[in-house]
Amino acid sequence: ESSSRSDRALQDHEDDTQENVLNEETQNMEKDEDKQVRQEITGCFQQEQIKELKLYKIASELLQTERAYVTRLHLLDQVFCARLTEEAGKGMFPVEVVKGIFSNVGSIYTFHSQFLLPDLETRMSQWASTPRIGDILAQLAPFLRMYAEYVKNFDSAMDLLKQWTERSVQFNTIIQDIQSQEVCGNLTLQHHMLEPVQRVPRYEMLLKDYLKKLPEDDPDRSQAKKSLNIISMAATHSNMAIRKMENLKKLMEIYEMLGGEEDIVNPSNELIKEGQILKLAARNTSSMERYLFLFNNMLLYCVPKFSLVGQRFTVRTRVGVEGMKVLETSNEDYPHTFQVSGKERTLELQASSEQDKEDWIKVSVSFRGNLHLRHFPYLCSCVFQKEELGKRAPRWIRDNEVTMCMKCKEPFNPLTRRRHHCRACGYVVCYKCSDYKASLRYDGNKLNKVCKDCYFIVTGRADAEEPVSGKKRGILEVLGVFSVSGNSFLCGFLQYSTDRTKPCQRVWCVIPQHDALVLYLYGAPQDVKAQCTIPLLGYQVEDVQRSVDHPPTSFRLCQSKSVHCFIADTEEVKLRWLKVIHKAVIGEMPECQTPVDDDLANSCHDGVPDGT
């Protein structure tokens, strides 16, 4: 019995202990839940406080900037405008000039100083009980439409200000006197006048930020959205005026750099791109430092002047954007080249890098079409339509690109047969073939030296297709380099020799598509008559191994006792030639190794005045 009582007592104690533990755990859980709820309530309260603080900061910033803006308006209306109006009343200059410059700035000053600013100051003093600004802006935002008149008049105001600053000494003296005062902060009148144009976009930015921080269920939200719609419409006009102001400021800088070049400071002009560039000479490949200004309606080709102040460039040529063509070119001696062809002049230019060249071509092509001639040098020089002769300035073929007259095919020499350029087509011809003069439209209808064929085409007098000498053309004259290079499997420069003891000669080699089993050798890329031809069928191709006597880029064509030695510029070029020749010598059609635009090749063929 005693043992039984002891067991029951122990069991009761264990039950009491377990109950106490459960009660303690329940109390702890209730405490944790209360703590979490308190933390959530505190977090929400803190977030509300942060939002209210952000809203207060936005409203405070609006008030502070409004005070500074009213001070600027006071300077414009009560200082600049009042002083100039007073002097205009004395007959120094017309009163209408002052009214034209300051437009309705007096009304804008009255609205901000007597209405908007006092209302904002009152609201900020009552922010604890009325924390909102949307209702004030919604009530007063319609009055911001008066800025449309100021913005619309802004361009003419700047023109008047510039005009009378230069014309009237008294006018300029008054403005300089006020600008020297401390209240102006070393800023010009033009800078202060830009402030009203920039103010409306400032309201739009602050109001957008205010709406982001405003709760969705806030009663001020509808009023804030209403005012934002009104202000956004006014800000659109202001942004346009700001862009015009920045553009006019840049045009003024260019105007000074060009020494007062006419027609530069015009609201319709827009600068697209400017930069330093190299210009390749027309007769040779020497380069000269130049500077380009590309506008929406013209390209200014300028020569730098070595002067640190004042005029920095002299305009050499204006090329109209209308009808301008941009061609991507390739030059062995100068990389990153492209050609700009206008009615007034054709320029071959060299950019500082491939990216710079692509940028120039891209912005130029945004106005007119572009023709890309990648990996195919010298072809662009002959892209010239017959109907454009005399109407568009040609690109001159360089002296070192030909070895013979491009009309009579006679070789040049430094004494009796020197090089001349036809001003209509740009061909290099001898003195006999250039002994004609015709009026060219691109040069103001002045008389210029032209070749015989261009003379007949421009004047329309005789049939230009008749051969000059009346002789039947030989096989080497029938295929000019324009046709074969434009439709070839492969073309390019190679060093050539038939005798190991003699030095190699640099020649322009072409395997035409219509005559795939023949290799044509020209003295230069623009020659119209081949020096010789090599029928490839039956020849053996030898890839010369590395040795003292032969460079690694050498290869030979051998047939019986006939040996033709060639040296390529690089190993890659050599492999391309071997790939084509290996098929040609066994009578198979090779694969085209030179990407060429068919339309371009046809235009090159059609553009040759004598039909070769």
Average pLDDT (447-466) is 77
If asked whether residues 522 and 393 sit together in one domain, one would say no
If asked whether residues 319 and 411 sit together in one domain, one would say no
Residue 595 lies in a domain: no
- Tell me which H or E stretch contains 231: helix 221-257
Residue 266 lies in a domain: no
φ/ψ of residue 444, rounded to 5: 70, 30
Residue 240 lies in a domain: yes
> Domain residues for 249?
36-258
Largest CA distance in the chain: 153
Give the pLDDT confidence of 146-183 residue by residue, as tens digits. Answer: 888 888 888 888 889 988 988 899 999 999 999 999 88
If asked whether residues 193 and 80 sit together in one domain, one would say yes
Task: Say if residues 313 and 322 touch (Cβ distance below 8 Å).
Answer: no
Domain stop point among 428, 459, 490:
459
CATH number, residue 415: 3.30.40.10
Residue 602 lies in a domain: no
CA distance 605 to 520: 18
Closest residue by Cα to residue 217 from 60, 48, 391, 335: 48
Residues ≥6 apart with Cβ < 8 Å to 22: none
Give the pLDDT confidence of 7-65 residue by residue, as tens digits. Answer: 666 666 666 666 676 677 676 666 666 666 566 655 555 666 777 888 899 999 999 99
SS3 labels along 414-426:
CCCECCEECCCCC
CA distance 222 to 85: 44
SS3 labels along 55-76:
HHHHHHHHHHHHHHHHHHHHHH
Average pLDDT (133-140) is 90
If asked whether residues 454 and 544 sit together in one domain, one would say no
CA distance 569 to 507: 12
Residues ≥6 apart with Cβ < 8 Å to 111: 140, 143, 146
CATH number, residue 116: 1.20.900.10
Q: How far is CA 565 from the centre of its chain?
A: 47
Domain stop point among 367, 396, 418:
367
Residues ≥6 apart with Cβ < 8 Å to 474: none
Task: Say if residues 559 and 540 touch (Cβ distance below 8 Å).
Answer: yes
Give the pLDDT confidence of 258-313 residue by residue, as tens digits. Answer: 887 767 877 778 888 899 999 888 767 678 899 999 988 888 999 988 766 678 88
Closest residue by Cα to residue 56 from 206, 200, 201: 206
Domain stop point among 236, 258, 280:
258
If asked whether residues 275 and 157 sit together in one domain, one would say no
Residue 275 lies in a domain: yes
If asked whether residues 400 and 530 sit together in one domain, one would say no
**DSSP string across 539-596:** PEEEEPPS-SSS-TTEEEEEETTEEEEEE-SSHHHHHHHHHHHHHHTTTPPPPP-S--
R_g (Cα) of the chain, nearest Å: 41
Average pLDDT (307-330) is 80
Closest residue by Cα to residue 436 from 381, 390, 480, 397: 390
CA distance 486 to 488: 6
If asked whether residues 487 and 408 sit together in one domain, one would say no
Residue 206 lies in a domain: yes
CATH number, residue 354: 2.30.29.30
Residue 600 lies in a domain: no
CA distance 318 to 411: 36
If asked whether residues 236 and 97 sit together in one domain, one would say yes
Percent of the chain exceeding pLDDT 90 equals 15
Q: pLDDT band for position 485 (50/70/90)?
A: low
If asked whether residues 171 and 205 sit together in one domain, one would say yes
Place of tokens 């004494």: 415
Q: Which residues face 428 on adjacent strands?
A: 421
Give the pLDDT confidence of 492-520 residue by residue, as tens digits. Answer: 889 898 876 677 888 888 888 877 788 88
If asked whether residues 222 and 319 sit together in one domain, one would say no
Domain count, the chain: 4
Residue 374 lies in a domain: no
Give the pLDDT confidence of 568-599 residue by residue, as tens digits. Answer: 988 888 888 998 888 888 888 877 654 434 43
Task: Say if residues 221 and 211 touch (Cβ distance below 8 Å).
Answer: yes
**DSSP-derived 3-state class of residue 15:** helix
If asked whether residues 173 and 283 sit together in one domain, one would say no
**242 vs 328: which has the higher pLDDT:** 328
Task: Say if residues 48 and 217 touch (Cβ distance below 8 Å).
Answer: no
Q: What is the CB neighbour count within 10 angstroms for residue 219?
A: 10
**DSSP string across 383-419:** ---GGGTTTSPPPPPPGGG-SB-TTT-PBPBTTTB--
If asked whether residues 84 and 155 sit together in one domain, one would say yes
